[in-house]
Structure 1
Amino acid sequence: MSQFRQKDNLIGQSNSFVEVLEHVSQVAPLNKPILIIGERGTGKELIAQRCHFLSQRWDQKYITLNCASLNDNLLESELFGHEAGAFTGASKRHEGRFERADGGSLFLDELANTSMLVQEKLLRVIEYGEFERVGGSRPVKVDTRLIAATNEDLPTLAEQGKFRHDLLDRLAFDVITLPPLRERQEDILVLAEHFAIAMARELEYELFSGFTEKAKRLLLEYDWPGNVRELKNVIERSVYRVGNGHIPVSEIVLDPFDSPFRPQARPANPATTTPTAAATPAAATTAPAPAAAVAEPRLDVSEPLDLKQESQAFEIRVLKEALKQCQFNQKKTAKHLGLTYHQLRGYLKKYQLLEGTNGDND
């Protein structure tokens, strides 16, 4: 399929992505609510904008609100407005987002975070096009198209009683589900190049010299849990760290915290732990006798030794043996050792063991 690209980063050529764009083009002109579902960083906000600008309301207001950014009382007031005197500090009437978006579109992100009260009022607006301001008694009529988004499984939340079934039914006139970046392999390098060129321009480089084959393989192998948003941050960071547009990007900085000197989490304070029954005198007198203890192998420390050096030597032996067993595949080795990919990379860098390893094959 032909590649689609535009300034708002809706870029891709994979079948799954192009199908989403076609779906948006089909539903956008209808005067119906739209529900957009996708993992964090997949571009739900961009798809919502596209739904608005491809509709007949494109020249009207497009208002947005993240429902997770406000508590229940503030969210209700921000959505539906309030009358003067509705609560302490409400000195004058306030128009909510639905009123301000009258004639246009209202995009509500993180919809799953709304309370049952807010959900009930949302249902009334969708069904009847009216609501009452907080502290008010007169209905307010609006013609606002609702576009909602979430990264939650709303049908499951509805089954658990955490989301209204009737609101879900009304919102789900049509549902646009965005594919995660790991399912858009053809788009990863296209997006990476787009972000890299934009970052090179921001840094006022004369040019962008591309990615090495090693860098490309790492980009394609990584799972991208943060999706396009994470990819953008990673590429911008990697281009900036090169420091020269004439040098191709060879090191992909996936984790800026990745360092052998990263401070370790402090262990829990033993004083705050609840003592076990065996620790009390009463329990000690009634507890059955323990089985014979297994004797631990004794370590000869009669001669002076360097504990740090011995520990490092042991870690190196374990890493080398695990790499060998996993055919020098970093991803498999990390799983084998109970480490994250980034933690393993930190150890390998620390002990200069990256040479000859392969992080690109499963």
Structure 2
Amino acid sequence: MTAPVAEKPLFHVPSTAHVTAGLHHLGEAERAELVERIKRLLRERDAVLVAHYYVDDSLQRLADETGGCVADSLEMARFGKDHPASTLVVAGVRFMGETAKILSPEKRVLMPTLEAECSLDLGCPADEFAKFRAQHPDHTVVVYSNTSVDVKAQADYVVTSSIAVPLVEHLRDQGKKILWAPDKHLGDYIRRTTGADMVLWDGSCVVHDEFRSWALEDLRSRHPDAAVLVHPESPREVIHQADVVGSTSQLIAAVKDRDEPEFIVATDKGIFYKMREAAPDKTLIEAPTGGESATCTSCAHCPWMAMNDLVSLANTLEDTAEPATNKIFIDEDARLKALTATQRMLDFAAEHRKATAGDA
């Protein structure tokens, strides 16, 4: 049952061309000089770079080379919390910077640009979500990590896609009814997998919502030996064709561990960098979206993730103003509430790992 309380919020989706306009004109020597400057600035600012799997290859490579981290949003935040650096530079989208600040309030959290948003976050405003919650007061509130700190502050649990199914199973076994937000496709997948009693917020990711089942069927017919890897933010008809449904880290592991020589991948194509690193002998094929033309909203790459580049990263690190232009600020009361919901998930995940290790 999908039961939004208002019309779906409208927001502007930027063009991916916004991105690399500043990088394409750089020669190899200029690019190499820019990378060295960023490395020097990271050392001088006592900063560590944490990057999401979906940002540009150059940023993922730079994070690896400088002792940073390339991961999903929660692991990025956990890495930043445990790292001794006093400044965290988060290459991703705004909610990821906020998540880092939730777990590391004492640290300075910067981003290459604060304009990098997320359609799931933008599509679930905190005030409208509060009205939705009020309609279902007897439900346990579980929200996806792709939400603002103000939405997380209203939740009982914050989850990532890798832990959402077992956590909802746990709540189902306790007789709980679930209010889920914001991704309706992920929520539908969890509900079908667990059989839990769930109401879903009407949100979707501009990347994963673009994958087309009919086009995937055609692509599979031309690559019959390929395994299909799908992120559960994708539409149900796409998920039904998957050999593996999982989070970003789970899909990377599947490419490494499975025997198929080819993989059709239905998630943001930024993940290909780590997939190729994990399995350089495998062939990776982009799952088809709405089209490789002006009619395609995302073409399998988040336009906000694409706003992160070497130039914007260097500019952020060069900025000595206080407060810095691209510094993350969050309300302390909201942070503490969001931390409680996030910590519940972390505690559950730790117990779940112990239990599943014991079963192995």
With the length of structure 2 as denominator, give the TM-score of the two structures.
0.24
Structure (1/2) with the larger strand percentage = 2
Instruction: With a CA cutoff of 8 Å and minimum separation of 6, indicate the structure with the bigger relative contact order.
Output: 2
TM score, norm. by length of structure 1: 0.24
